[in-house]
Each structure stands twice: as C-alpha cells, then as structure tokens.
Amino acid sequence: MLVLLGAPGAGKGTQAHVLARHFGLPRVATGDLFRGAARDGSPLGLAARGYMERGELVPDEITVEMLLERLDAPDAERGAILDGFPRTRAQAEALDRALAERGTVVDAALLVDVPTGELLQRLTGRWLCGAVGHTYHETAYPPRVPGICDIDGSALIQRDDDRPEIVKARLEKQLGALADVVEHYRAAGVLQAVDGRRPIASVTNDLLDAIEPIPYWRTSP
Ligand SMILES: [Zn+2]
C-alpha cells in the first residue's frame, strides 16, 4: 500500500494518477468512494450517505471500512495508491489497525512537499473572465493586459474561494492535520519526502526513485 500525501495545490492528485498508471494499480480516493456510496445501496454506502446528507463528516471507521471494501476488488489485489486519505492522525492510526488485521502495511508514505508560501501563491492567484470563465493565474499564466481576458476582452474577477485571506485560513487548518499525518509516518519509518516545486515529470521521477528501494514496489527485476 502506497499513500500519497500533500497539501492542497501541491500536485499530489496529479502524481497519484501518474503513479497508478505506472504501476498498473488503482488510485483510490475517498472522495470517489463517497460519491460511489451515494449511488450504491450497500449498508456501508447507506450509512455514509446518511452522514453526508446531514452535512456531517463520515466517521473514520466507516471511511476505513469503505476503503477496505474497495481494496478487496480484484484490481487492487497487488495493492493500491491512496490519494487523499489519511487526512488526520486518527485516520492514519485507523488505517494501520485495519491493514494489520489483513497482514499488510503502508509500504511508503510519499509526501509531495511544497512550502506554504508557494502553496498560497498557487492557490490564490486564480482569476476568471467574467464572460465565460477563461482562467488565468497571476504568476503561472497571466493575461497579456492585467485584469483583462486575452480572448474576449472582458474583465477578470476573483472568486471568494480564491481570495488570499480565505485560502490562507483554510490552508492553515489543513497543514496542521497534514503535519500530524507526516509525523505519524515519519515515526513509522516509511515517510519519503520529495520536492514538489520541481516540474511534474521531475517530481514523478523523484517519487519513483524514493519507491525503488522498497521491495514491494521495485519496478526493475
Ligand atoms: Zn474570456
């Protein structure tokens, strides 16, 4: 079992997709599990849907049960890449217990590490054109004329969700929980951190290098 960790905006999801393709393993994201549960009629799915419909967080034990059910599917027989779980220390501990019962472990927890300042820059620089929503980014892909859409000349606007003070408050909360999870895996001796500021392909190579020494994940004979 491989766990991918990273803050919002770190590029973790992108790397999870690339690694899943590389290893021929499923990428398992709890968000997808919840959406699936909302459609199927299994007892776990119905329980999870109840919490979601009341606007409550799905309890860790139910989330872990859903994860384990997903990992029983034939395509996950050789393992899986977890994307977006665990998010808290309690979830990491629940996952450890559940995996131990099945005689398996988290082989590696891969952290796509990006400094807070750069995360904020990535997350807050987004602007949309008022006409049809063409997207721009202050530093990554700025418009030719500040505040004006290149394509249709309409004024660019920023969504409330993308405003610096709102992004910062949300991010700080998430970084606190992430630090706990990182510490949990560091203590277990399975944490591997790579520099998430590098280009996507370089980050992928660094992740593969980090995984290489782990017997289960060895890609060359
Ligand atoms: Zn436009």
Structure tokens, 52:
């979601």
pLDDT tens digits, residue range 30-71?
Answer: 888 887 877 777 888 888 888 888 888 888 888 888 888 888
User: Taking all residues of the chain, what is their mean pLDDT, rounded to a whole number?
Assistant: 89
Give the whole-number percent of the chain exceeding pLDDT 90.
Answer: 52
The domain 2-25+78-114+172-217: what is its CATH number?
3.40.50.300
The answer on pLDDT for 102 being more than 80 is: yes
Using pLDDT thresholds of 50, 70 and 90, give the confidence band for residue 217.
low
Q: Ligand 1 centroid vs 130 CA: distance in angstroms? A: 7
Q: Quick one: which H or E segment has residue 6?
A: strand 2-6
Which burial class, exposed, middle or buried, applies to 217 when counting CB atoms under 10 A from its CB (0-12, 13-18, 19+)?
Answer: middle
Prior bond of 164 cis (ω within 30°): no
* pTM > 0.85: no
Domain ranges of the chain: 2-25+78-114+172-217
The pLDDT score that the predictor gives to residue 220 is 44
Q: Taking residues 106-129, what's their average pLDDT?
A: 92
The pLDDT score that the predictor gives to residue 216 is 62
Q: Taking residues 80-87, what's their average pLDDT?
A: 91
pLDDT tens digits, residue range 153-169?
Answer: 999 999 888 888 888 99
Distance CA(82)–CA(16), nearest Å, equals 8
Q: Ligand 1 centroid vs 155 CA: distance in angstroms? A: 8
The pLDDT score that the predictor gives to residue 79 is 86
Q: Ligand 1 centroid vs 61 CA: distance in angstroms? A: 45
Catalytic positions, please? 12, 87, 126, 159, 170
Q: Ligand 1 centroid vs 169 CA: distance in angstroms? A: 29
Cα torsion 11, 52, 182, 82: sign: negative
